[in-house]
């Protein structure tokens, strides 16, 4: 039976891959840092990683990537002089658990040495109340009297992919506090880790050796007695405390935490998690597998949600390590943002502020990237400054060892529109124009300006076209009129007009200042013209299929199996110049289907059906972003079982780790927050059938047969609802704090819902699905 609030395993050693994998699956994070799911005594060989959010470093010509901190969670226990490790054959039992309720990692390992059995327990969390703080409770007990030693402190042997990023690592010990101070290589930013313990074990001896700043407790343990040690570690980087040196900030924090005590720290942390779950949980009755996987996905998102006020975003591999350069892709806006927007808008604000904060980087990219580009061309792989971390030769060919020219950086232009759409969506869902006024409107106008400089006006056809791009399907590069891209570009122009109209009505003086600052007023009519005359490939009148890009339908048909059979290397990249997929119709990930999902209110069911059926057998799902798009559209076209399969694929990706670990020669393993967000979207938008229209919320349930009920919270325009769907009824429970009356269309029935007035609507699975669509 699946546990609904935890996962556990009895494995602790094994191959390098399995240790790596558990490091991902059992990681914990708190938005400021991620701590991989490794064991107390592990080191860099086991890929221990404390990956910091928002601080990056480059060594030489290697990839710039996030900084991993020294490990303040390190402990090594010895029994009668034998150091214990879960990697050795002294292990007789092991169990480790990740608790979803409070994002806590626990291990219990029993070691046997010389006929004695020692049990080591530890329980670790990264505080969501004090984002620089980690807390560990360790306990040991032995079944016989024994000499036990506990060496605990900070290990500054650091696992890096392209490091070493920290230099001048300096250990210090004073007043029973440990510290390691360091500087990054590139910008010489200070990073410091401090550690304090609270224990009744008595005195300890300093032990600084082999890049570990430790203290050692040695004592004679009595049989059966439990010896406890609480550990507090803090990680500060220069940006966390501009006024105070990071070492001081870290030392002060561990002292404060120790004074408060581990239990109080945990109580604060757990209370905050409880309120997160109260807002964001999705409850599925009747399907434990789906419930566990979905909840795990939500845990992942909530753990990596940026710290309030940080204006940080979530990288494509979250905080699970340095993979993908710790970079932020379109994954955030298109796949993760909806979850936060509809359940936890304060976190959506941070994600959007990140794009506002990095606007100058996007401007620099437009200026340097292309002939006459203007405005904001957002980075395909964005780090702290918004400059593009994506290289022109971003993939290594495992066959020849050569670098392959890819055009992700210079041609995947839909990224700017993805950002613009996200900012507008925040306004549409929350009704709050703060983000627009605090830089979002500027971003949107600059994105429209970029697209105008990128678009071509074809006089003979009387239309604008977007040429020479990569759409979401990265196997076909430099294509013309990619349906997804054109639709996003057209929407960006439309949004630019809508933003101006909104500000004109509500904040005319601010608008005037903004238009003057950007010197853009004269360009607005051109944006409006582009919004009206930009070409977006339409469904074929007979087949209803939308051609992914010009010429796609003339390519050769090929199945995934056929191409896989031709591969000469298991990690061979199927795209770029010579890739096997290039001359064929095989696509890497949802592209037209992605567009149909993004603009799902605009396309009729028949078009969705025709395209889903056409593209689905031609999609490799070579990206973790693909399955949820197919899942969501499948729910709308009566492909319930396929929808469910794709849903599980999305929701279990990080639990089961069935994903590519290499693309070409590049290691890409780690967690998949976009798929986690896709799992939420599939549950709520897909099976729940939630669609937010202009003035009402549509709920058109299409639950998988075995789900007895689906329950979730939804925030809308500052109010909150708890929605519960069963096979025959939908109930909408407004929060007691709601201020407005809201219009709903529930299973085809218009209802309104205000505070104190919950609504229940009967429906039957047999009722025809309402597509909520209008033809375009
Ligand atoms: C996908 C992109 C995605 C990136 C990061 C690539 O494999 O094709 O769409 O943004 O991974 O997840």
Q: Which CATH number is 281-687 given?
A: 1.50.10.10
**φ and ψ of 15, to 5 deg:** -70, 165
Mean pLDDT value across residues 204-220? 97
Residues 5, 8: Cα–Cα separation, whole Å: 10
Mean pLDDT value across residues 414-443? 98
| Pocket mutation for ligand 1, best pick of 474, 485, 626 (most atoms within 8 Å of C-beta) | 474
What's the pLDDT tens digit per position in 381-411? 999 999 999 999 999 899 999 999 999 999 9
pLDDT > 70? residue 725? yes
474: annotated active-site residue:
yes
CB 267 within 8 A of CB 257: no
Return the ligand 1 atom nearest residue 329 CA.
10
The band of 776, judged by pLDDT with boundaries at 50, 70 and 90, is: very low
Count how many residues are written for the chain.
776
Provide the 10 A C-beta neighbour count for residue 690: 22
Residue owning the nearest CA to atom 7 of ligand 1: 623
CB 395 within 8 A of CB 573: yes
pLDDT > 80? residue 767? no
According to CATH, the topology of domain 6-279 is Beta-galactosidase; Chain A, domain 5 (2.70.98)
The band of 577, judged by pLDDT with boundaries at 50, 70 and 90, is: confident
pLDDT > 50? residue 627? yes
What's the pLDDT tens digit per position in 53-79? 999 999 999 999 999 999 999 999 999
Where is pLDDT greater, at 242 or 459? Answer: 459
pLDDT > 80? residue 649? yes
pLDDT > 80? residue 269? yes
CB 677 within 8 A of CB 342: no
pLDDT > 90? residue 274? yes
Cβ of 477 below 6 Å from ligand 1: no
Mean pLDDT value across residues 518-533? 98
pLDDT, position 764: 75
CB 399 within 8 A of CB 664: no
Residues 127, 436: Cα–Cα separation, whole Å: 32
Mean pLDDT value across residues 721-748? 96
Based on the number of CB atoms within 10 Å of its own CB, is 121 exposed (0-12), middle (13-18) or buried (19 or more)? middle
What's the pLDDT tens digit per position in 324-373? 999 999 999 999 999 999 999 999 999 999 999 999 999 999 999 988 99
Residues 562, 545: Cα–Cα separation, whole Å: 24
The band of 765, judged by pLDDT with boundaries at 50, 70 and 90, is: low
Q: Check whether 288 is labelled as a binding-site residue.
A: no
What's the pLDDT tens digit per position in 583-619? 999 999 999 999 999 999 999 999 999 999 999 999 9
Ligand 1 centroid–CA 27 distance in Å is 22
What's the pLDDT tens digit per position in 134-174? 999 999 999 999 999 999 999 999 999 999 999 999 999 99
pLDDT, position 773: 32
Domain boundaries, the chain: 6-279, 281-687, 690-762
Residue owning the nearest CA to atom 11 of ligand 1: 623
Ligand 1 centroid–CA 643 distance in Å is 21
Cβ of 620 below 6 Å from ligand 1: no
What is the full DSSP assignment across 252-267?
A: HHHHHHHHH-HHHHHH
Return the ligand 1 atom nearest residue 324 CA.
5
pLDDT > 70? residue 318? yes
Mean pLDDT value across residues 644-656? 96
Cβ of 316 below 6 Å from ligand 1: yes
Pairing, β 190-199 against β 205-209 = unpaired
Please say whether the structural domain 690-762 has been given the CATH code 2.60.420.10. yes
Q: Is the pTM of this model over 0.85?
A: yes
CB 471 within 8 A of CB 444: no
Is residue 761 within a helix (H) or strand (E), and if so which, with residue range? strand 759-762
Cβ of 310 below 6 Å from ligand 1: no
Cβ of 589 below 6 Å from ligand 1: yes
Residue owning the nearest CA to atom 6 of ligand 1: 623
Q: Check whether 5 is labelled as a binding-site residue.
A: no
Q: Which of 466, 468, 488, 487 lies closest to 478, judged by CA?
A: 468
Q: Check whether 588 is labelled as a binding-site residue.
A: yes
Return the ligand 1 atom nearest residue 674 CA.
12
The two structure tokens encoding residue 193? 């880790």
pLDDT > 60? residue 774? no
Radius of gyration of the chain (CA): 27
What's the pLDDT tens digit per position in 680-705? 999 999 999 999 998 899 999 999 99
CB 157 within 8 A of CB 44: yes
Residues 754, 503: Cα–Cα separation, whole Å: 29
**φ and ψ of 721, to 5 deg:** -135, 150
For the chain, percent of residues with pLDDT exceeding 70:
98
């Amino acid at each position: 039976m699946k546990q609904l609030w935890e996962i556990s395993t009895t494995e602790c050693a094994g191959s390098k891959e399995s240790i790596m994998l558990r490091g991902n699956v059992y990681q914990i994070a708190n938005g400021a840092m991620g701590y991989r799911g490794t064991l107390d005594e592990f080191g860099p060989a086991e890929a221990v990683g404390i990956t910091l959010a928002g601080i990056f470093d480059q060594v030489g010509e290697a990839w710039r990537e996030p900084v991993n901190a020294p490990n303040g969670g390190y402990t090594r226990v010895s029994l009668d002089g034998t150091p214990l490790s879960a990697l050795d054959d002294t292990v007789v039992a092991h169990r480790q658990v990740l608790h979803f309720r409070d994002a806590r990692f626990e291990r219990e390992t029993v070691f046997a040495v010389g006929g004695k059995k020692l049990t080591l327990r530890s329980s670790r969390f990264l505080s969501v109340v004090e984002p620089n703080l980690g807390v560990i409770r360790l306990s040991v007990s032995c079944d016989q009297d024994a000499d036990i030693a506990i060496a605990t402190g900070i290990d500054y042997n650091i696992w890096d992919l392209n490091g070493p990023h920290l230099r001048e690592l300096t250990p210090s010990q004073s007043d029973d506090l440990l510290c390691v101070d360091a500087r990054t290589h590139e910008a010489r930013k200070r990073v410091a880790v401090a550690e304090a313990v609270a224990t009744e074990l008595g005195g300890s001896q300093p032990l600084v050796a082999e890049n570990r700043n430790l203290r050692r407790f040695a004592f004679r343990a009595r049989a059966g007695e439990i010896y406890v040690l609480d550990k507090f570690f803090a990680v500060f980087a220069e940006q966390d405390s501009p006024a105070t040196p990071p070492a001081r900030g870290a030392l002060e924090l561990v002292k404060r935490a120790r004074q408060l005590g581990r239990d109080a720290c945990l109580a604060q942390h757990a209370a905050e998690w409880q309120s997160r779950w109260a807002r964001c949980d999705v409850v599925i009755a009747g399907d434990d597998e789906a419930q566990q996987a979905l909840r795990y996905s939500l845990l992942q998102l909530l753990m990596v949600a940026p710290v309030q006020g940080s204006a940080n975003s979530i990288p494509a591999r979250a905080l699970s390590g340095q993979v993908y350069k710790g970079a932020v892709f379109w994954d955030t806006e298109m796949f993760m943002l909806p979850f936060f927007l509809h359940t936890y808008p304060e976190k959506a604000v941070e994600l959007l502020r990140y794009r506002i904060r990095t606007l100058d980087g996007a401007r620099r990219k437009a200026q340097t990237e292309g002939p006459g580009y203007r405005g904001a061309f957002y980075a395909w792989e964005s780090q702290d400054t918004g400059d593009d971390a994506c290289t022109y030769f971003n993939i290594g060919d495992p066959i020849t060892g050569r670098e392959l020219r890819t055009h992700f950086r210079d041609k995947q232009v839909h990224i700017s529109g993805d950002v613009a759409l996200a900012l507008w969506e925040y306004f549409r869902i929350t009704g709050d124009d703060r983000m627009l006024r605090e830089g979002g409107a500027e971003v949107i106008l600059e994105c429209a300006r970029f697209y105008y400089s990128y678009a071509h006006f074809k006089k003979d056809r009387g239309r604008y076209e977007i040429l020479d791009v990569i759409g979401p399907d990265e196997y076909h590069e430099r294509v013309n009129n990619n349906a997804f891209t054109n639709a996003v570009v057209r929407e960006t122009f439309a949004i630019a007009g809508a933003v101006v109209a909104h500000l004109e009505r509500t904040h005319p003086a601010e608008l005037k200042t903004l238009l003057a600052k950007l010197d853009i007023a004269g360009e607005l009519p051109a944006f409006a013209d582009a919004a009206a005359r930009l070409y977006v490939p339409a469904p074929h009148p007979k087949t209803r299929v939308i051609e992914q890009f010009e010429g796609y339908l003339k390519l050769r048909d090929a199945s995934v199996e056929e191409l896989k059979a031709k591969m000469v290397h298991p990690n061979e990249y199927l795209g770029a110049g010579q890739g096997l997929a290039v001359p064929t119709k095989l696509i890497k990930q949802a592209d037209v289907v992605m567009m149909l999902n993004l603009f799902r209110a605009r396309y009729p069911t028949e078009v969705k059906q025709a395209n889903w059926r056409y593209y689905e057998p031609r999609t490799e799902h070579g990206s973790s972003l693909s399955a949820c798009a197919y899942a969501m559209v499948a729910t709308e076209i009566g492909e319930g079982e396929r929808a469910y399969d794709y849903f599980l694929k999305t929701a279990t990706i990080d639990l089961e780790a069935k994903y590519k670990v290499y693309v070409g020669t590049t290691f890409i393993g780690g967690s998949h927050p976009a798929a986690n967000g896709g799992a939420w979207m599939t549950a709520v938008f897909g099976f729940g059938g939630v669609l937010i229209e202009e003035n009402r919320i549509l709920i058109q349930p299409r639950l998988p047969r075995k789900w007895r009920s689906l329950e979730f919270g939804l925030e809308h325009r500052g109010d909150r609802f708890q929605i519960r769907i069963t096979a025959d009824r939908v109930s909408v429970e407004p929060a007691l704090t709601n201020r407005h009356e809201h219009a709903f269309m529930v299973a085809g029935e218009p209802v309104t819902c205000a505070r104190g007035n919950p609504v229940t609507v009967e429906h039957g699975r047999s009722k025809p699905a309402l597509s909520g669509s209008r033809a375009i």
